[in-house]
Amino acid sequence: MYTKLFAYTVAQLALVAAAAASTWTVDDNGGAGVDFTDIPLALAAAQPGDVVVVRPGTYSSFTLSKGVAVLGQAGVIINGTATIAGVPSGPRASLVRLEMGALVIASCAGPVIGDDLDVRPSGVEGVSITNSADVRLRRLDARFNSISSSGTAVVVQSSRVEITDSLMYGPTGTSQIGDCCGGASGGSALRINAGADVHVACSTLRGGDGGDAATWASFPAGDGAPAIVITAANARLLLTGVASNIVQGGAQGLGLSCAEDGRDAPALRLEAGWARVSGATLLGRTSACGAITPASALYAGVLEQPSPADPSLSLPVATPPGASVAFTLSGPPGAAARLRLGRQPVVLDLPDAIEDRLVFPLRTYDLGVLPPTGTATYAFHVPSALADGFLIVAQASTVSSGEVRLTQSVPLVVH
């Protein structure tokens, strides 16, 4: 049950934050009450802790380099790339409810939060995350708009990243056009490179299909792409969720005959590093000519698939002030469950835990023992007094046979 004590605590913190922050309004049509007509102009004026509210419209590409929250209303389109780069330690940088062609997050020491972001790439990468200490994305929709000869929906390198309640689809390879060359291979949904520590929870990922070859010539068709590729010895993946969270590689392109068909792809290609897959479903494929591709392809590294599954926490809906929403915790039946809510996106790497722990919870709620279904829900009312941009961070835990397991941390940006 949501308590008055927690509501009072959150409201007081909101008042403290509001006293030190400014809110700027952006509208490409101008008009009364509008501070700027484009986002780059607002970001030049904003200071760490400020909020930039963007009204519906089409806006220029921008670079955010300080702890500012950019909050879009429904119908905000960025004509190009949104970049978050060089954010120092301190106030978080946030992007909420924006559509863009690409998202770049680079060299950020401070926390970066993204919520309800639609990325529709047409280039090589949809989302690129490099050299960043703490990136958390909720309700990311990264899917290629069209077929492509190459590309990856999300690429992570030398960064700690959590992705929750999201969709990531690699591009379909181009089919043969004219008299030459056959079909192109598809692209992956997620590529995890050196130094990346990635937790994907309650999400769907699909590799792109291979492009077809012309049926009148003996050119090869394109290969499907794995949904997830892990490339380096120091790369890590924790994949959690429930059975309905599907991860599947792309299908083969088709040619003149079985000999010219492309190859189906596994859901996970582990070239090196470490992966722990728990709860989510990895699917293999059976080709048109009967070849079977397993769900995972292990070339090096370590793949763990624990039983019972690790817990996960889902909140796939918007969280405006005054909304009533429900967290869903999935975990081992019979485990004791708790939910923690805090204000600061600070986690601690525990040596005896797979997932990092939320350090500064404000309230802890006892969810009881998980039933045979392995799920429990918690109804949460977002206080109507909270200002746009207010952050709440949630994390749940389960205890079974004396073992404590943690979910990912879930960021809620009130807007």
237-285 tens-digit pLDDT:
999 999 999 999 999 999 999 999 999 999 999 999 999 999 999 999 9
Give the H or E element holding residue 41.
helix 39-45
Domain ranges of the chain: 23-97, 120-305, 312-413
Which of these CATH numbers, 3.40.50.720, 2.60.40.2060, 3.30.70.370, 1.10.1750.10, describes 312-413?
A: 2.60.40.2060
Report whether pLDDT(311) > 90. yes
370-404 tens-digit pLDDT:
999 999 999 999 999 999 999 999 999 999 888 88
d(CA 257, CA 245): 34
Per the rule left: phi > 0, alpha: psi between -120 and 50, beta: everything else, 265 is: beta
Report whether pLDDT(157) > 50. yes
Q: How confident is the model at residue 233 (pLDDT cuts 50, 70, 90)?
A: very high
No. of helices (H) and no. of strands (E), the chain: 2, 36
Give the H or E element holding residue 265.
none
Q: How many CB atoms lie within 10 A of CB 63?
A: 15
The predicted pLDDT at position 1 comes to 28
The predicted pLDDT at position 178 comes to 81
Q: DSSP letter string over 224-239? A: P--SEEE-STT-EEEE
Q: Pick from 96, 95, 90, 124: which is nearest to 108 by CA?
A: 90
Q: How confident is the model at residue 21 (pLDDT cuts 50, 70, 90)?
A: confident
The predicted pLDDT at position 17 comes to 44
Residue count of the chain, please give it. Answer: 415
Q: How confident is the model at residue 227 (pLDDT cuts 50, 70, 90)?
A: very high
Report whether pLDDT(313) > 70. yes
The predicted pLDDT at position 15 comes to 36
181-220 tens-digit pLDDT:
889 999 999 999 999 999 999 999 999 999 999 877 789 9
Q: Pick from 154, 142, 35, 135: which is nearest to 87 by CA?
A: 135
Report whether pLDDT(35) > 80. yes
Q: Where are the beta strands (DSSP E) in 29-101?
A: 51-54, 57-64, 69-72, 76-85, 93-100
The predicted pLDDT at position 142 comes to 97
* Dihedral sign (CA 318, 322, 324, 329): positive
pTM attached to this predicted model: 0.92
Q: Which residues, 6+ apart, have CB-to-CB distance to 44 below 8 Å?
A: none
166-183 tens-digit pLDDT:
999 999 999 998 888 889
Intra-chain end-to-end CA distance of the chain, in Å: 23
* Mean pLDDT computed over 111-137: 94
Using a pLDDT cut of 90, give the percent of the chain over it.
80
Paired tokens of 407: 């979910």
Among 17-26, 34-43, 92-101, 181-190, name the one with the lowest average pLDDT.
17-26
Report whether pLDDT(355) > 90. no
The predicted pLDDT at position 179 comes to 81
d(CA 64, CA 305): 39
Instruction: Determine if the peptide bond prior to 308 is cis (ω within 30°).
Output: yes
d(CA 214, CA 279): 40
Decide if 332 contacts 311 (C-beta within 8 A): yes
Q: Could you tell me the CA-to-CA distances from 414 to 317, 318, 388, 390 in Å, in that order? A: 11, 8, 6, 5
Using DSSP, state whether 4 is helix, strand or coil: helix
DSSP conformational letter for 309: P
Report whether pLDDT(350) > 80. no
- As a dihedral over the C-alpha atoms of residue 329, residue 353, residue 348, residue 406, rounded to 10 degrees, the angle is 0
Pairing verdict, β 375-381 and 324-330: antiparallel
> Could you give phi then psi for residue 212, rounded to 5 degrees?
-80, 150
52-105 tens-digit pLDDT:
999 999 999 999 999 999 999 999 999 999 999 999 998 999 999 999 999 999
The predicted pLDDT at position 190 comes to 98
d(CA 327, CA 317): 10
The predicted pLDDT at position 166 comes to 98
Q: How confident is the model at residue 312 (pLDDT cuts 50, 70, 90)?
A: very high
Q: Which residues, 6+ apart, have CB-to-CB distance to 52 below 8 Å?
A: 23, 24, 26, 39, 42, 43, 46, 68, 69, 70, 71
The predicted pLDDT at position 11 comes to 42
Paired tokens of 339: 């939910």
